[in-house]
Amino acid sequence: MASAFGHAAASLAFGSTGIVKRMQGKLMLMGMIVSILPDADSIGFKFGVPYDSFWGHRGFTHSIVFALILSIVLVFAFYRSQTSKEKTRIFIFLFLSCVSHAILDAMTTGGLGVAFFSPFNNQRYFFPFRPIKVSPISITTFFKGKGLAVIQSELVWIGLPSIALMIFSFIIRKGKKSTTEG
């Protein structure tokens, strides 16, 4: 995993592009939770689930299919009454938040790769470019020192692109607003 902070930051950056509207704090929070949720599979380590198995860490919960199902379920559970346009927008945001987790994990320096195509194919993948230091799963280890190096690499490889995305979308939206206004 990248750290929970890194995943949540990516979701926040997507949300700030305007896909999450003002006053939709609940949706923004939901996106951040969804971005961290795939790592619930690390509980399997406690119960002897093998790392490289279907339910193992970075297995099915890190797949594209899981992100699709989770986003659809959440849209229908919480945003059923919205118009289809709104539902699509919310779905895209939640899907991006969830799938960004797997993408970031596939760019980390350690552990096994990510089962992007589970349940059809349980093979694990990494990207060729892996600059993000892998985060320890144990919170104690994270706060005992290793976490600092993780946070540093995430600031560079997740934080900076997130800020760039926020600034870029802010400029685009401002530009759009002034064209419609003037």
Binding site residues, Zn ion, CB under 5 A: 1, 39, 105
Considering the complex, state which of residue 4 and residue 68 has its C-beta at the smaller distance from Zn ion: 4
Report in angstroms how near the CB of residue 69 gets to Zn ion at its nearest.
17
Considering the complex, state which of residue 15 and residue 59 has its C-beta at the smaller distance from Zn ion: 59
Considering the complex, state which of residue 89 and residue 115 has its C-beta at the smaller distance from Zn ion: 115
* Pair 137, 42: CB distance under 8 Å: yes
Report in angstroms how near the CB of residue 37 gets to Zn ion at its nearest.
9
Residues 6 or more apart whose CB falls under 8 angstroms from that of 179 comprise none
Instruction: Kindly provide the residue ranges of all beta strands, DSSP E only, lying in the chain, ordered along the sequence.
Output: none
Considering the complex, state which of residue 43 and residue 167 has its C-beta at the smaller distance from Zn ion: 43
Rounded CA-CA distance 22/15 in Å is 10
Q: Which two tokens stand for residue 128?
A: 């060729």
List the alpha helices (DSSP H) in 44-83: 64-78
* Pair 38, 66: CB distance under 8 Å: yes
Where do we find the tokens 């991006």?
Answer: 96
* Pair 107, 129: CB distance under 8 Å: yes
Report in angstroms how near the CB of residue 160 gets to Zn ion at its nearest.
21
Using CB atoms, what's the residue nearest to Zn ion?
A: 1
Report in angstroms how near the CB of residue 27 gets to Zn ion at its nearest.
22
Considering the complex, state which of residue 105 and residue 154 has its C-beta at the smaller distance from Zn ion: 105
Report in angstroms how near the CB of residue 41 gets to Zn ion at its nearest.
8
